[in-house]
Amino acid sequence: MKDFQSLTEKEILALAISLEEEDERVYSDYVEGLRESFPSTAEVFEGMRKEETIHRQRLIELFRSKFGEHIPLIRRQDVKGFVVRQPLWLAQPLQLEKIRGQASAMELETRRFYERAAARAEDAGIRQLLDDLAQQEREHANRAEELEREKLGPTELEKEEDANRRLFVLQIIQPGLAGLMDGSVSTLAPVFAAAFATRNSWDAFAVGLAASLGAGISMGFAEALSDDGSLTGRGRPLLRGIVEGLMTTVGGIGHTLPYLIHDFRVATAIAVVVVVAELAIISWVRNKYMDTPPLTAALQVGVGGALVFATGILIGSS
């Protein structure tokens, strides 16, 4: 995987062509998936697909004039800083509100790419085209609204989620949820293994505290080093790392604190209640912000937590 800053102008143009082609294909899939149930919305995405086609053609013409006929294949997954998109064929049937949000996120990511690419370009012609495309991406939100007004009646139109909420999910909720899940679930085994092995509240607390802090530091560093967020809108890596590290620690500390109570049985009973509350909160967040069905979220989190919890008890009691 290559860093964006190290790309040449030729590679930047090749990547831009690949991104536009991918967005064009995505919009085409939206059109096909929505045509039967939501024909008016499908027309909106057809209009956006045509605009992506024009962008791609302009980029190809400039590439040929500067670098020749062969366009190297450079994809988003080859360059650091892009969000990994869920394959559309895995998201059937398509949910109208969800794909509108995904389309908005796609436009934001592409605009950020063109802005950074234009800032790095030294060739006047390349810089001009990238600036033009960045400006057009800025105007796409207005264009999408115009298309909706043209194609959608007032009874058919569902408002999209606010762009700030999507950025909040990308920058705070996603890393926070990952940290909370890791901290709440992964520390269950060492805490309860120590508790049932020693029958001593303080020993269980010491193990839980060490596991929580260690996991928080590890997860924080992993997130902070994952990508710089400049192309994806995920925010500064330091902020994401801090959020994920803190939430990982909080997730582990929650069921560790009851072991400050001297009585082992009382401490364990309270810790179990806290674990149930933590798993319920994680399931709620997954349902509210990650579009996971309530039952699915509860089963995924509950089964995973129960297995880790049982593992800790079995090891501690052996």
What residue ranges define each of the domains in the chain, with the CATH number in brackets? Answer: 4-151 (1.20.1260.10), 163-317 (no CATH)
Q: What is the pLDDT of residues 120-133, one digit of tens each?
A: 888 898 999 999 88
Q: What is the pLDDT of residues 13-45, one digit of tens each?
A: 999 999 999 989 888 888 888 777 777 778 888
Residue bearing the bigger pLDDT, 107 or 164: 107
7: which 2 tokens?
């790309």
Asked if 74 and 15 touch (Cβ cutoff 8 Å), the reply is yes
Residue bearing the bigger pLDDT, 92 or 35: 35
Residue 83 pLDDT more than 90? no
Asked if 105 and 168 touch (Cβ cutoff 8 Å), the reply is no
Token pair 């967040």 is at which residue? 285
Measured between alpha carbons, how far is residue 303 from residues 252, 280, 291, 296 in Å? Answer: 18, 12, 19, 10
Measured between alpha carbons, how far is residue 306 from residues 89, 130, 201, 210, 267 in Å? Answer: 31, 52, 21, 22, 19
Q: What is the pLDDT of residues 108-120, one digit of tens each?
A: 788 888 888 898 8
Asked if 310 and 185 touch (Cβ cutoff 8 Å), the reply is no
Token pair 């809108």 is at which residue? 233
What gap in Å lies between CA 72 and CA 221, rounded to an integer? 34
Residue 308 pLDDT more than 80? yes
* pLDDT at res. 87: 65
Nearest in space to 289 (alpha carbons), one of 157, 207, 166: 166
- The arithmetic mean of pLDDT across residues 242-267, rounded, is 89
Q: What is residue 256's DSSP assignment?
A: T
What gap in Å lies between CA 59 and CA 301, rounded to an integer? 46
